[in-house]
Amino acid sequence: MKVLQVSTPKSWRGGEQQAAYLARALKEMKVNVSIMTPFHSALSSRMLEDGISVINFDSRGLLDLSLAKKIANVCKKEEFDLIHTHDSHAHSAAVLSAAVFGNKTPIVVSRRVDFAVSSNLFSKWKYNHEAIKKIVCVSEVISKITAPSIRDQSKLAVVHSGINTSQYDFIPSGNLLKNELNLATDTLLVGNLSALADHKDFPTFLKVAKKVADENPMVHFVIAGSGDEKELIEKFIEENNLSSRIHLIGFRKDITKVMKSLDVFLITSKTEGLGTIVLEAFAAGIPVVATHAGGIPELVSDQVTGLLREVGDVEGLTNAVHLILSNHELRNNLSNNAKIKVQGFSFLATAQKTLSIYQEIVKQ
């Protein structure tokens, strides 16, 4: 089987990580997989390092007919069995390759966002185009949100995203961040390692951080990542004189070591497809405080695998952080349950379920 994956962002976020995991796993399963991605994208360089075939293009934004034409030409030349798109722009280009350039290659679409399909005519058209054979949603809630816009709902499937669950097995808990930040070894660290994006609701995270920091001098907060919200975060820290308690450490490649340095993982998203960073915390054995957003409740069961609070509930989230930091038994129970839960979310399991969908389509 030959599969063309298409991913249009140049940056590295959750969707790109999932595309990379899938490509690597498919290669191990003897699937001939190629990645179509922009020149100089983060995904491009990482796939080349892994020996995955990469087809580059110049990124030109939405409704990119040149990309649509390239997809059509590549599919004709290389005789791909199907196309798997990982983002909205890729989805658009793949459908246009069928509608405008006559590409007959069936399309699988990944849907990762927890808001309804746009009501505009183009979105309705591209989600219901006959070339679309399956819409793979990363959580049950995404499937429910997407369903009203899909005429043939048998095309909807749920395949939860996965992670490398074994990557934390040989990484001990450590003082990496405390050493970097010159903090005492008995400092307690609460962190968020997500992209600095609007839907992650960092204003709520920061309000919680301020309340906790005011009440407990032993607690510091860490934010790792890059994105559009950086300036807003820096402004809040400066205006509230919290530069000594809230630490921005930028985008990190050593995410496993950073995660293992935390005492609590706090995610305050207002929307979330699934929240694979929560799975990272689970695998690392770091207790989670999270919001009831998108697919997160499919991972975090309150008082079982983490503590769950409503979106924007600063008081509730603050109390949850205090509770975990002060209750050793609760912390251990949450971590142990989460480690069991995450075993069902390996990227290999995700790839196997995805491959089954591919095989079903190719047999049609």
In this predicted model, what pLDDT tens digit does every residue of 32-62 receive, in sequence order? 999 999 999 999 999 999 999 999 998 776 6
Would you tell me which CATH number, out of the four given (1.10.40.60, 3.30.420.40, 3.40.605.10, 3.40.50.2000), belongs to the domain 2-162+346-363? Answer: 3.40.50.2000
Nearest alpha carbon to residue 126 among 118, 136, 115: 118
Other Cβ atoms less than 10 A from the Cβ of 316: the count is 16
pTM > 0.85? yes
pLDDT in the model for residue 208 = 98
Residue 112 and residue 15 in contact, taking contact as beta carbons nearer than 8 Å: yes
Nearest alpha carbon to residue 326 among 258, 259, 263, 284: 263
Q: Taking the mean position of all CA atoms in its chain, how far away is CA 183? A: 30
Residue 273's contacts (CB-CB under 8 Å, 6 or more residues apart) are: 14, 111, 112, 113, 114, 138, 139, 142, 161, 294, 295
Domain boundaries defined on the chain: 2-162+346-363, 176-342
The CATH code of the domain at 176-342 is 3.40.50.2000
Identical topology for domains 2-162+346-363 and 176-342: yes
pLDDT in the model for residue 211 = 97
pLDDT < 70 positions in the chain = 61-62
pLDDT in the model for residue 174 = 79
Instruction: Report the 3 state secondary structure along 98-142.
Output: HHCCCCCCCEEEEECCCCCCCCCHHHHHHHCCCCEEEEEECCHHH
Mean pLDDT of the chain: 95
Nearest alpha carbon to residue 14 among 290, 284, 187, 269: 269
Helix, strand or coil for residue 146?
A: helix
* Lookup result for tokens 């722009």: 89
